[in-house]
Amino acid sequence: MARYVALLRGINVGGKNIIAMKDLRATLDEHGYDNVRTYIQSGNVLFDTDDDPANLESAIEGALEKAFGVALVVVVRSHRQLRNVVSKAPKGFGADPDTFHSDAIFLKAPLTAARVLDIVTLRDGVDQAWPGTGVVYFARLGAERTKSRLSKITTTTEYKQITIRNWKTTQTLLALLDEQG
C-alpha cells in the first residue's frame, strides 16, 4: 500500500468552501482510503491506498463533490514525489524564514512549471522562482511581500490548476508521511 498526500485547493479560505476536517476524513475513509489523516484546516489529507495513482485526483475530486456539493481541485503527490519536492528544492530555499516567505506552488497536470514561470512576472529584488517537477518554488522578500507579483497569478486561467503551501507546511507534510511510512 502506498502513502499519498492530497492537497485540496480553496477550502476553508476566506469563509468559503467550509469543510470540517472530521467530515473530510470520513468521506475519504468511506471511499476506501486507509489511515486517513488531515493536517491543519487548509485541506491537507494523508492516506494510504492501492488504487491506481493515475486516477486518484479525479476519484477524490468526485467523492468530495458528491459529499460536499463543491467542485474542488485536488493535487495528489506520493510520498516519494513529496520527498523529491523537498529534497530537490533550490539550495537554501526556506532556510531563512525571517527574511524570505517561501512557498511550494503545486501544479495539477498537465500544467507545467515552465508555463507557470511564463505567466508569473517577478519583481526584481522581491520575488524569486525556480522550476521543479510538478512544483514551482517561490520566495518573496518578507520586508517587501506587499510588492510581490505572486498575487497576479490569481488573474490567470492557470491559477485554477495550482494549490500553494508554505514551505513549513510542505516540510511538515513530508515528516508526517515519513512517520507513517
pLDDT per residue over 77-91, tens digit each?
Answer: 999 999 999 999 999
Coil/strand/helix, residue 124:
coil
pTM of this prediction? 0.94
Average pLDDT of the residues of the chain: 93
CB < 8 Å & 24+ apart, contacts of 150-157: 150/103, 150/120, 152/120, 152/121, 153/116, 153/119, 153/120, 156/119
Predicted pLDDT at 13: 66
What cell was used for 121? 512576472
Domains and CATH numbers, the chain: 2-81 (3.30.70.1280), 82-179 (3.30.70.1260)
| Residue bearing cell 468526485 | 62
Among 70, 52, 62, which residue's Cα sits nearest to residue 2? 52
Greatest CA span in the chain, whole angstroms? 48
Q: For 83-113, how does the pLDDT look when each residue is reduced to its tens digit (9 = 90+)?
A: 999 999 999 999 999 999 999 999 999 999 9
How far is 171 from 5, CA to CA, in rounded Å?
Answer: 12
Q: For 7-52, how does the pLDDT look when each residue is reduced to its tens digit (9 = 90+)?
A: 998 786 666 778 899 999 999 999 999 999 999 988 899 999 999 9
